[in-house]
Amino acid sequence: MKKALLLFVVLAMLALVSTAVFAQDEVWHLGILVHSLDNEFWAQEAKGGELFADSKDDVVAQVLATDGDDNKEMQAMRDFIAQYGDHAIFVTDPASKANTANVVEIAEEAGAKVAILWHHADELEPADWDSFVVHMSPDDFVAGYNTAKHLFEKMDGKGKVVALYGQQGEDSAANRYAGFLAALAEYPEIECLDMQVASWSQDQAMTFTQTWLSKYDNIDAIWAANDTMGLGAIEALKLEGKNGQILVCGCDGIAAAYEAIEAGDMACTVANNGYLLMGYGASYAYQAAKNGVVPENPVIKTQAVLVTSDNVAEYKAMFIDGTPEYDYDDLNFCVLSAHPSFAELELEEKLGTAAAVAVTGAVVEAAEEEVAWNEIVDKINAEIEKGIENGEEGAAEAKEIVDFLQGLYNEIVSGEAK
């Protein structure tokens, strides 16, 4: 008797819960397509999608793991669409670059909106499709470039570096490494002794590092394309007591990497911020489906922060110990250039914090209001040219700053960071 009563209560509760969700006329079903949850970053992404859904009364989210398998991803979408029709919306960290074409076609057929993160097939542009709302990604090239540059600066622009490459055949791995090479080209006194493919693996990275340490005795820094490999390198260094002496960087921003930065074992990483990426991706898809809002520029570079010993505490508190709170209705917030970024941090070094904030603010304002920025810059440049010719003090530095601001402005206007 007791059991029957208990069962009744449970059923009643279930009914209540489901009416609460389904009572509304329009419920949007968000399919969160990620590789799997066994990787911290992917889990962060999925969490971001869920955070967004939690912030809306009319969104129900479901995580669909694809295991990086094209067919699984397509099947998951079809199943989801079969269930929810055009009230299905998707945000995906796609199984592969090529498969995004299939993803878009499936969505288009069903009239479901989809936001795609990280990579998309060549010539597959959001502008050409109704359902392909937006493509968003942090810039891997910039991430690789910035981590490398941070190492090189700490090396005072000279010494020996080795590199740990990600997975062969993956875009992010290739772009991050391209960023590393671009930075390397700027430092003629830095030599890259060797590069090895460690396939994002901690174990392999540790093994390679051990072998390097027995072969070379003059390594100054190890550039790793992600945090896991960086942590592997650090374990190898620890065995020789060289952690903290040989610089190591990572990328992605996982918890263990923040701890390593706090401990002084890791120099820097980039917080790719999966919460923001997938949360805002979902938001774009939702807004397009519900309100027909389409971003003017549907190819978005999201903000990614270089995390060093200076700001690690702040980001760890935000991303690891807690979850970041975002206003998902402010769709522009996630865009790289509309938010203080590492570019601004660099400006701080040159001008000091207050001035940097002021100048950046002015530039952002100018960009948004589309004043005749080029004319202003041309005039300033002409003045500076004169100053240089006359040998005036500080003229060269002024030119550097103006060039920098020009870059920042271009970033904001084009939304492109490269």
Taken in order 49, 51, 53, 56, is the CA torsion positive or negative? negative
Residue 215 binding other proteins, by CB under 8 A: yes
Minimum distance from residue 207 beta carbon to other proteins (Å): 5
Residue 320 binding other proteins, by CB under 8 A: yes
Residue 71 binding other proteins, by CB under 8 A: no
Size of the site for other proteins (CB under 8 A): 39
Minimum distance from residue 216 beta carbon to other proteins (Å): 9
Give the whole-angstrom CA distance, residue 217 versus residue 240. 12
Of 20, 246, 18, residue with least CA distance to 154:
246
User: Which helix H or strand E contains 114, and what residues bound it?
Assistant: strand 113-117
For residue 130, give Cα distances in angstroms to 110, 111, 114, 135, 279: 11, 8, 9, 13, 21
Residue 256 binding other proteins, by CB under 8 A: yes
Taken in order 397, 400, 406, 412, is the CA torsion positive or negative? negative
Select from 211-219, 308-316, 383-391, 392-400 the region that touches other proteins (CB under 8 A).
211-219
Q: Which is nearer to other proteins, 131 or 272 (CB)?
A: 272
Residue 243 binding other proteins, by CB under 8 A: no
Minimum distance from residue 214 beta carbon to other proteins (Å): 4
**186-205 binders of other proteins (CB under 8 A):** 194, 196-197, 199, 201-204
Give the chain's end-to-end CA distance (angstroms, integer): 70
**121-180 binders of other proteins (CB under 8 A):** 165, 168
Residue 211 binding other proteins, by CB under 8 A: yes
Q: Which of 30, 106, 155, 206 binds other proteins (CB under 8 A)?
A: 206
Residue 208 binding other proteins, by CB under 8 A: yes
For residue 164, give Cα distances in angstroms to 47, 105, 176, 232, 248: 28, 36, 11, 10, 10
The type of residue at 382 is: A
Q: Which of 69, 259, 348, 416 binds other proteins (CB under 8 A)?
A: 259
Q: Which is nearer to other proteins, 215 or 350 (CB)?
A: 215
Minimum distance from residue 235 beta carbon to other proteins (Å): 6
Minimum distance from residue 45 beta carbon to other proteins (Å): 10
Residue 224 binding other proteins, by CB under 8 A: no
Q: Which is nearer to other proteins, 196 or 297 (CB)?
A: 196
Half-sphere exposure of 92 (CA within 13 A, CB side): 36
Give the whole-angstrom CA distance, residue 266 versus residue 264. 6
Q: Which is nearer to other proteins, 259 or 416 (CB)?
A: 259
74's tokens: 């397509």
Return all residues near 117 (Cβ < 8 A) that are at least 6 apart: 45, 91, 92, 93, 94, 135, 136, 137, 277, 278, 281
Question: In this structure, how many other beta carbons lie within 10 angstroms of the beta carbon of residue 414?
Answer: 13
Residue 181 binding other proteins, by CB under 8 A: no
Residue 40 binding other proteins, by CB under 8 A: yes
User: Which helix H or strand E contains 221, and what residues bound it?
Assistant: strand 221-224
Residue 218 binding other proteins, by CB under 8 A: no
Q: Which of 27, 37, 98, 413 binds other proteins (CB under 8 A)?
A: 37
The alpha-helical segments, DSSP class H, found in 85-170 are 99-110, 140-154
Q: Which is nearer to other proteins, 44 or 100 (CB)?
A: 44
249's tokens: 């960087």
Chain residues binding other proteins by CB under 8 A are 36-40, 42-44, 46, 165, 168, 194, 196-197, 199, 201-204, 206-208, 210-215, 228, 231-232, 235, 238-239, 254-256, 259, 320
